[in-house]
Amino acid sequence: MKTCVVLDLETTGLHPKTDRILEIGALKIVDGRTVDSYHVLINPQMQIPYEIQELTGITQAMTEEGEKSETALGNFLDFCGELPLLGHNIMFDYSFVKHKAVNLGFKFEKEAVDTLKIARKALPDLPSRSLAALCRYYRIDQGNAHRALDDTRSTWQLYQYLERDFLESQPEIFKPQKLMYTVKKQRPITFSQKVYLNDLLRYHRIETDVKIESLTKSEASRMIDKIILNHGRVKR
């Protein structure tokens, strides 16, 4: 694949329904050459888990001045256009972007090539096919590993090595595949949920690291249920 968008995200966790995007990195490849890049830090409007800060080096302070997710995603969709995607374990990144895109009212249907899937078939004897392991195998300098833009550069270099070594013998594993992932649009928190949730937090003297207005209706419902289960209802 000579023309595509190489994508990598950093997120607050592993679950696109409940976790949030911290960073988007993307390279635009045309005829095998990098012609443009996109990089943005996003304010997740919640506390970044300590283990994520340790893994990525992305701190709370760094994201405080970050873009709103709506702005960042809109700009990324414009950058991406109709081009297919390339990524390492691309379904992970695609699922996060699609969740946010659908909630914003956008379509995001893509074909993609996954370097993880290629490596699993082309290099079955390696003990690991993680991006870090494959970069060590091919002696690719990862730069700042677990930072989105650097990981896209590593992924593009990895793809070129895999193509060099295996395209002729296994051309079928390099063909873009349609990404199949269904997302139901999530509604924003309702006014009544916002009022009741704030009442619960005040009544039980609970501090939260999530901005209430950033919650979806289902997230707010889960949070309310959890507080009631652990602390009880507001007694009038």
Question: Which helix (H) or strand (E) element contains residue 10?
Answer: strand 4-11
Characterize 137-159 residue by residue with b for buried, 16 or more Cβ atoms within 10 angstroms of its Cβ, and e for exposed.
eeebebeeebbbbbbbbbbbbbb
Same domain, 97 and 30: yes
Do 85 and 142 lie in a common domain?
Answer: yes
If one counts the domains in the chain, the total is: 2
Angle of helix 69-80 relative to helix 90-103, nearest 10 degrees, comes to 120
| pLDDT value for 119 | 98
Q: What is the mean pLDDT of the chain?
A: 94
Residue 236, domain member (yes or no): no
23: helix, strand or coil: strand
Same structural domain for residues 21 and 111?
yes
The domain boundary residue, chosen from 156, 178, 200: 178
Domain range enclosing 55: 4-178
pTM over 0.85: yes
State the pLDDT confidence band at 157, using cuts at 50, 70 and 90: very high
Q: Per residue in 120-132, pLDDT tens?
A: 999 999 999 999 9
pLDDT at 236 over 80: no
Same domain, yes or no: 172 and 201: no
Max distance between CA atoms of the chain, in angstroms, equals 73
Cross-strand bridge partners of residue 105: none
Residue 89 belongs to domain with CATH number: 3.30.420.10
Across 154-177, average pLDDT:
97
What mean pLDDT comes out for the span 151-157? 98
pLDDT of residue 56: 95
- Residue 172 within any structural domain of the chain: yes
State whether 141 and 54 are in the same domain.
yes
Residues 206 and 155 in one domain: no
For residue 166, what pLDDT is reported? 98
Look at residue 105 in the predicted model and tell me its pLDDT. Answer: 87
Which candidate, 36, 12, 8, places its Cα nearest to that of 24? 8
pLDDT of 5-46, one tens digit each?
999 999 999 999 889 999 999 999 999 999 999 999 999 999
